[in-house]
Structure 1
Amino acid sequence: MIRHAHEDAELLALARRYVMPERRYLKLGGNVLGMQSPEYDRFVRALGEDSRLITPHEIATLLEGGWRERRTAAWLIAVSRRTEFREQLGELLQASEVCCVGLAYCVALAGFGTPRDAELLAAYLDRYLRRPDLGYDQDVVMSALMLVDLNLGGDVASRFLGPSGLWHQYLNDAPHKRGAVDPAAHLSLIRRLCAFAEECAESR
């Protein structure tokens, strides 16, 4: 069950502390890459500091909230590299209960970058590439898996990208797709966001 900040005093307090200041939750949607100094530098330092200060219980509470809270929590996990949340992020990605969060989950998992993270990303693709009627996070998850493969020297993504793979079947059947989509299109975005998370971590 999703907790709602306007009905939950604990969650509301955490949202006011970590999510809402300077509309952080919106900037963490990818807009951060377009920020300029000194705003960018201030944002990096604040996110890095909060990733150090927030407790595991507070992160777990934010992950029970709506998309704003979950997006922010996933980023705080990515910056602090709290791999103990790996399985929960994988579960939340699979569940796809709320919108606007998949990219944050992908940044965290791609940043962890282990074979287990590749498995979690692949599990999502095994499920949702078979659902061309759902325009969820298939593109960014594929790109995140490709990045993990590149960093590990793995080939997990190849079974999806082959001529008879689920990726091409998904593109052919998805009504919201128009023509071929190169999954590498999002690869640069995922890589840049992972680098941003590392920059925030180094500022702590």
Structure 2
Amino acid sequence: MDLGGLRGYTATFLRGRFGSSEYRYQHQLIRRYVGHGGRYLHLRGGVLFWPRPRQKLFQYRLRWSARRASTHDLMTLLDTGGWREQLAASWLIAVGRRADLRDRIAQDLRSDAPSGYGWDYCTALARLGTDQDAELLRRYLDQALLLPRPLDDDDDWHCQRQAMGALLYLDGVLGTSYAQPLLTAGGLWRQWSGEEGADSLEEERALIAQLVAFAAGERPLIKT
């Protein structure tokens, strides 16, 4: 049991019920978008393997929530700093193609202490799907690939592999080559990863493609 998360959620609940109007507003948002049985946790990948009728129902609910969420709602979820809130907000940005939140994503990715769990941002940027989003990912990677490679592959602060997968996906969609300089001999990706080439990133690129398809309401093609 995640006691830290439980204490945090309980504290948020109590503040929401008895605190200021701002705390009540935050609590309502968390209950609306995060607290319904942890449904957004399925977006870590489990939804990709669901039967298609169940996927369609989940996608319908996502679209409804994305239309309902205001810019202020999404900014508030991101400001809470919790990974569940960021997961929900990032997916609502992706589903609604909320380009108005692009600058906020860029700000978080450039932060000295990144917001963490940035792979959800990679999905959102890939779903937005423009040259501007590819350039944002490239700028992030130009900085993040200068950092030491974490000892733990599940490092929460950075998302270099996922960002490379998203960038390769966008290159394929846009017909661009933003990722290519990073992949050349002596390029930043080669240095950071220990000389891994583009082939090593196919799993990340394919996963991003599946998540973008799901966010668009389509059926993700899963190889089993």
TM-score, L = length of structure 2: 0.78
Unaligned segments of structure 1, at least 5 residues? 174-178
Q: Report matched runs for 1:48-197 at 5 Å.
A: 48-65=63-80, 66-95=82-111, 97-99=114-116, 101-134=117-150, 135=155, 136-172=158-194, 182-197=200-215
Q: Which has the larger radius of gyration?
A: 2
Structure 2: which amino acid aligns with 1:48? R
Corresponding residue of 1:19: 34
Corresponding residue of 2:4: none
CA deviation digits over 1:125-173, x for unaligned, max 9? 1111111233431101001011111111111100100011011100129
CA distance in 1, matches of 2:56, 2:37: 14
Structure 1: which amino acid aligns with 2:202? A
Structure 1: which amino acid aligns with 2:184? G
Q: Secondary structure at the match of 2:185?
A: coil
Task: Report how far residue 59 of structure 1 moved.
Answer: 1.0
Unaligned segments of structure 2, at least 5 residues? 1-7, 16-22, 219-224
Question: Equivalent pairs: percent with the same residue?
Answer: 37
More relative contact order in 1 or in 2 (CA 8 Å, sep 6+)? 1
C-alpha root-mean-square deviation of aligned residues, in Å? 2.1
Corresponding residue of 2:19: none
Q: Secondary structure at the match of 2:114?
A: coil
CA distance in 2, matches of 1:36, 1:143: 26
Q: Which runs of at least 4 in structure 1 moved beyond 6 Å after TM superposition?
A: none
Corresponding residue of 1:176: none
CA distance in 1, matches of 2:40, 2:217: 18
CA distance in 2, matches of 1:11, 1:161: 43
CA distance in 1, matches of 2:170, 2:136: 11
